[in-house]
Structure 1
Amino acid sequence: MVRNPERRTALVDAAIDVLAHEGARGLTFRAVDARAGVPVGTSSNYFASRDELFMQTSARITDRMTPDPVRVEEAMRPTPSRQLVTELMQWLVQRMADDRTGYLAMLELRLEATRRPALLDHLNRTVRADLDANARFHREAGLPGDTDTFLVLYLAMTGLLLDHFTLPGMLTGGATADRDLDRLVETIVTRIIPAE
């Protein structure tokens, strides 16, 4: 197996781009090579199978979506409150918007996992571990609400992000036409997190 970490990362980032723009069916070694601008056959030297490419792509998306610990420390300086949770959720939405391609690729991976048992097992474990770690962080940081409150907030935010990235016009029309995304996040947090 070839050992060039920078090239491997570039290939996985190209795979993320392919997933986001062409879907899981479009994720082939040839498509990754073309997106990365490398000779045909390069990615097959780095990944033993498409399944391995899917797994590596999932890990890379998680790395890209994980906030910088220094930024987290800065964000957590204010006193824990419902307002702080609102700001953290608005920051979450902004981070996901900044890596829209990564978020869409993760959605594609989740869909593909319904057809690939090994990928499903992998995503169940990794997403569950992230959920548990985030719930623990919420609790240990003294943010308002219990574990169930955090779970409802997680579910509401994932629903908001799904609609925002897949049907962006839906949230800006109809009953929510006068609300921007930050205000929708504030509404979600206000309805879920108990008042101080």
Structure 2
Amino acid sequence: MRQNPERRAALVDAAIEVLARQGSRGLTFRAVDTEAAVPNGTASNYFTNRDDLLNQVARRTRERLSPDASALAGTMEAPPSRDLVVRLLHDLVGRMREDRSSYLAMMELRLEGTRRPELQAMLTEVFSNNVQEGIRFHLGAGLPGDRTTVLLLYLAMSGFIVDDLTVPDVLAPFPLDDLIAGLVDRTLPPPAAE
């Protein structure tokens, strides 16, 4: 197997674009080579098989979808509050819209995981870790709510993201600011009386 990290990353990024545009049926080594503008056969030199490529895509989408550490640190300078939760959810939507391909590729991986037990096991681990990290982050930052609150926000935002990516006209009549504010108002406990 080839070890050039930059070439491997470019191939995985190309695979994300192929998955987003063509779905898992379109994800072939040849399609990845074409998307990455490299000679035919290059991807097969970097990945032992399709499962290896899918696993690398899952890891890379997680990297691409994670918030920028310095931007997040700046956001977290605000006091922990419902308003900060609203801002964090808006940031999530912004990342999703900026890197639509990664979210679509991850949706394709989820579907593919229903047919590939090894991929499903890996995705279960990735998403379980994401949920636990989200809970630790939320509680550690002193944001309002508890573990269940974080899980409910995760589930609601996951549903929002699926609709926004696949059938955006369903949500078009509902302003994003109102949706997120309503979600936070109905999910988080009211502020304690002073």
Q: Per the shorter chain, which TM-score range?
A: over 0.9
Q: List gaps (5 residues or longer) in structure 2.
A: none
* Counterpart position of 1:188: 183
The amino acid of 1:192's aligned partner reads T
Task: Tell me the CA shift for residue 183 of structure 1.
Answer: 2.2
**Alpha-carbon distance in 1 for matches of 2:188, 2:90:** 15
Deviations 1:64-110 (A, max 9, x none): 01112111111111111111100110011001110001000000000
Cα contact 1:139–1:146 (8 A) shared by 2: yes
Q: Are the counterparts in 2 of residues 82 and 194 from structure 1 also a CA contact under 8 Å?
A: no
- Given that 1:2 and 1:45 are in contact with CA atoms closer than 8 Å, whether structure 2 keeps it comes out as yes
- Number of residue pairs matched by the alignment: 191
Q: Counterparts of 1:166-185 in structure 2 under 5 Å?
A: 166-172=166-172, 177=173, 179-185=174-180
Aligned to 2:90: 90
Name the structure 1 match of 2:127. 127
What's the % identity of the aligned pairs?
Answer: 51
TM-score scaled by length of structure 2:
0.96
Deviation at 1:33, TM superposition (A): 0.5
2:10 counterpart of 1:10: yes
Give, in whole Å, the separation in 1 of the partners of 2:22 and 2:178. Answer: 32
| Structure 1 residue 182 displacement after superposition | 2.6
With the length of structure 1 as denominator, give the TM-score of the two structures: 0.95
- For 2:151 and 2:71, the matched residues in 1 are separated by 23
Work out whether 1:112 is the aligned partner of 2:107: no
Task: Give 1:194 shift.
Answer: 1.4
Q: Secondary structure at the match of 1:12?
A: helix
Q: Which consecutive unaligned segments of at least 5 residues does structure 1 have?
A: none
- Measured in 1, the distance between the counterparts of 2:181 and 2:93 equals 12
1:154-169 matches, cutoff 5 A: 154-169=154-169
- How far is 1:195 from its partner? 1.8
- Displacement of 1:148 after TM fit? 0.5
> Deviating runs (4+, > 2 A) in structure 1?
none
2:146 matched residue in structure 1: 146
Provide the C-alpha distance between the structure 2 equivalents of 1:106 and 1:149, rounded to a whole number of angstroms.
24
In structure 1, what is the Cα distance between the partners aligned to 2:64 and 2:30? 24
Shift of 1:61: 0.2
Q: Tell me, in whole angstroms, the C-alpha distance in 1 between the residues paired with 2:71 and 2:128.
A: 23
Partners of 1:184 and 1:33 in 2: CA distance: 41
The Cα of 1:38 is off from its aligned counterpart by 0.7
